[in-house]
Structure 1
Amino acid sequence: MSTAMIVDDHPLIRLSLRLLLQRERYEVVAECGDGVEAVQLARQHRPNLILLDIGMPRLDGLGVISRVRQLGLPCKILVLTAHTAESYSVRCMTAGANGFFSKTDSLVELQRALRAVMSGFIHFPVLAARPAQGEASNSERALIEKLSNRELSILQHLARGYSNKEIGERLLLSNKTVSTYKMRLIDKLHMKSLITLAEFAKRNDLA
């Protein structure tokens, strides 16, 4: 029987995933809700599969993927997230994930993704151009692609309405460091203020 670990900061989602995995004949050996603990549990249990969310406290999903790969663990990693494939799919693949699945897709699609990844294939959605995308939207996507993983994580938390203190607590950063990142984001994305920066993040489905 294959073993699996679930990493998501929402208990109800972890429960749903556990039930799905058990139906698929996986033994769930560990689950947790933050990235630092995820790395520790992955090292301890060495599961065959890790189902991993991106937006988590202390260490985000991209950081978890990088740490697991640095440890040389042979786990298959399937990212499950509510974030758009346009913003995160390529980043996850580059970090070392084996697949990417949007939580807005069906359970049937998730089962297909699981089977593909565990059979040795990669599973990433095809990034088709949006029919209604205009020049401005394409330009914004290009700006997002130039952000570092940490900058994108800060932008995501800003879109969710977190304060500097809350972002710092979730990502283990000081208020000053968070403020520095925000000013850097305003500069790199050519925004006029934190308000327009937050609007930009929400407009690009980063919340």
Structure 2
Amino acid sequence: MSSALVVDDHPVVVGAVRMVLESLGYETVHVASSGVDVVPMIRQHAPKLIVLDLKLRGFGGLEVLERIRAIGLDCKVVIFTSADPEHYLTRCRRAGAMAFVTKSAQLQQLQNAIKAVRSGYSFFPELLVNSASQSDLNRDERESIASLSTREMEIMMKLAQGESNKRIAEAMNLSHKTISTYKTRLMLKLGVSSLVVLRELVKRNGLF
């Protein structure tokens, strides 16, 4: 059986995913805890399946997905995350993921997703969104978030989590000036005046 790669920084989650993979016959399971390690590990171990979290140190999962696709690496990706599918599912599908499973789901759902992907099928839950129950402000905010690029999304989340421009720049291998430019652009796109308001917007829309 081909090897698999689990990308997550929570040991308990890694253990659970490893158990699922081993039950499906994967004898070798590699682990990466940071987004920056993923591409080198794919090149080194050539796993045919990757179980990828979106909330990672360094590059986030979306950025990892786009790098895998841009380089043309041959592997199938299952997203296993606590991130809100309403904001991330479509982005992940566009970036090349073949399945999306939330961590709140039963492990059986992850197992079913892996089986489907291994057989060449995709596995995405249906999004049931009652737009009539959303306020106009909430709809406007979600539309603004949906308009963000992958990198803007990653930087927005790091800023909302309280990380400094310097720390974000180091983690993403970008210049401090570049992060500052992204920060200004985000404030304009989202119509917020401070990082406090940005954090409130992110929390209000269920991004963490």
DSSP 3-state at the match of 1:27: coil
Shift of 1:39: 0.5
- In 1, the alpha carbon distance for the partners of 2:2 and 2:136 equals 46
- In 2, the alpha carbon distance for the partners of 1:130 and 1:163 equals 36
Task: Give me the identity figure in percent.
Answer: 44
Aligned residue in 2 for 1:79: 79
1:143 aligns with 2:106: no
Shift of 1:172: 2.5
Please list the CA deviations of residues 22-42 of structure 1 after superposition, one character each: whole Å capped at 9, or x if unmatched. Answer: 122212342111122110111
- In 1, the alpha carbon distance for the partners of 2:200 and 2:107 equals 31
Larger deviation: 164-173 or 147-156? 164-173
- In 2, the alpha carbon distance for the partners of 1:165 and 1:107 equals 38
- In 1, the alpha carbon distance for the partners of 2:117 and 2:70 equals 20
Q: For 1:36-47, list aligned pairs within 5 A.
A: 36-47=36-47
> Unaligned regions of 5+ residues in structure 2, if any?
none
After the TM superposition, which parts of structure 1 deviate over 6 Å for at least 4 consecutive aligned residues? none
- 1:60 maps to a residue whose letter is G
Aligned residue in 2 for 1:49: 49
- 2:121 maps to a residue whose letter is F
CA contact (8 A) 2:100 2:125 kept: yes
DSSP 3-state at the match of 2:31: strand
134 and 28 in structure 1: CA distance in 2 versus 1, 3 angstrom threshold = farther
- In 1, the alpha carbon distance for the partners of 2:57 and 2:204 equals 23
- In 2, the alpha carbon distance for the partners of 1:124 and 1:79 equals 10
CA contact (8 A) 2:63 2:151 kept: no
Shift of 1:136: 2.0
Aligned residue in 2 for 1:111: 111
- In 2, the alpha carbon distance for the partners of 1:39 and 1:15 equals 22
1:175 aligns with 2:176: yes
Please list the CA deviations of residues 139-188 of structure 1 after superposition, one character each: whole Å capped at 9, or x if unmatched. Answer: 11111111111111111112323233332333223333323222211110
144 and 115 in structure 1: CA distance in 2 versus 1, 3 angstrom threshold = same
With structure 2 as the length reference, what TM-score do the two structures score?
0.91
**How many aligned positions are there?**
207
> Unaligned regions of 5+ residues in structure 1, if any?
none
CA contact (8 A) 2:87 2:146 kept: yes
- In 2, the alpha carbon distance for the partners of 1:72 and 1:177 equals 27
DSSP 3-state at the match of 1:2: coil
Aligned residue in 2 for 1:58: 58
Could you say what the CA RMSD is over the residues aligned between the two structures, in angstroms?
1.8
- 1:82 maps to a residue whose letter is S
CA contact (8 A) 2:69 2:96 kept: yes
